[in-house]
Structure 1
Amino acid sequence: MNVLDGAALEIGVPTVRTGIAGDGTLISVSGGSGADATPESDRILGALVLDDTHIDAVAVRRRRRGQGIGTALVEAALDRRDRLTAEFDADVRPFYEQLGFDVELLDDEDGRFRGIRK
């Protein structure tokens, strides 16, 4: 939840827990290395939450953005679903376009977009 909260995404704990139970929440984890590595040293780097085929949220820790973590999460979701949809702001439009989503402007005043990837 810290990764999603840090990205200022409005998604509730029940949605994330439901996604975990039904294979709809994916996480990217960086394990510790060396002799001191333990399961507790794992750090969550990013998370993606699906509601069936819709991406409810995708977030990556600020210092780890631009390293392919979000791309890997979306590609992992594509491995699980035949198609994906997402709604997003203009600032992340290039991310979705780079991943091959067909993007269109929604009919709202907020300048949000919808993307579909089949």
Structure 2
Amino acid sequence: MSEQNRSGDPPENVAVETASPADRLDVLRVLDAAMLETDAASVDAAIGADDALVARFKRTGAVVGALVATRPESGQVHVDAVAVRRARRGRGIGSALVAEAVRRAEGDTDADRVTAAFEPTLESFYADLGFEIGDRDGRLRGVKRVDDGPG
């Protein structure tokens, strides 16, 4: 398996883009395969708000990763779920999805931070992407402050 790409750029053969309603089933399948507890209504809401992203294999158009964000409070974009198909992990796809969510938040005048809650095994993943890591109620949380618009 190749070395992980933590620069935030997707691998050359993968495009990260806004999920469309046609991607709904693929997003649900990727998240389900990773055993993430995101329900269909949350995915539908994120897709409707343009807060869901997919990583698509350029050659075939297959969805190989997905990110679902929510907006639980004013100014906050929360990474609710991010997953990559097992065969594509370790190549920077998950990093590219989170980095794109951060870039979009940076251009969103309603957002001042991106947050995530995650297991300890993902601490370095989020730290490498510039998140400040803290512990709340035994679960790690990351916060990345963003500008009030494009820089």
Shorter-chain TM-score category? 0.7 to 0.9
Runs of 4+ in 1 over 4 A off after TM superposition: none
1:34-113 correspondence runs (5 A): 41-52=60-71, 53-82=77-106, 83-106=113-136, 108=137, 111-113=138-140
1:58-100 per-residue CA deviation (whole Å, 9 max, x = no partner) reads 0011111111101111111111114200001101111001111
TM-score w.r.t. structure 2 length?
A: 0.68
Name the CA distance, whole Å, in 2 between partners of 1:75 and 1:57. Answer: 14
Task: Tell me which of the two structures has the higher relative contact order, counting C-alpha pairs closer than 8 angstroms and 6 or more residues apart.
Answer: 2
- The secondary structure found in structure 1 opposite 2:126 is helix
- The secondary structure found in structure 2 opposite 1:84 is strand
1:46-68 per-residue CA deviation (whole Å, 9 max, x = no partner) reads 00100020010000111111111
Could you tell me the percent identity over the aligned residues? 44
Amino acid corresponding to residue 64 of structure 2 in structure 1 = L
Amino acid corresponding to residue 128 of structure 2 in structure 1 = Q
Name the CA distance, whole Å, in 2 between partners of 1:84 and 1:10. Answer: 20
Q: 1:15 aligns with which of 25, 38, 42?
A: 42
State the number of aligned residues. 107
1:15-56 per-residue CA deviation (whole Å, 9 max, x = no partner) reads 111111111000000133xxxxxxxx4211100100020010
Name the CA distance, whole Å, in 2 between partners of 1:54 and 1:86. Answer: 6
TM-score w.r.t. structure 1 length?
A: 0.86
Give the CA RMSD over aligned residues. 1.1
Aligned twin of 2:24: none
Unaligned runs of 5+ in 2: 1-27, 72-76, 107-112, 146-151
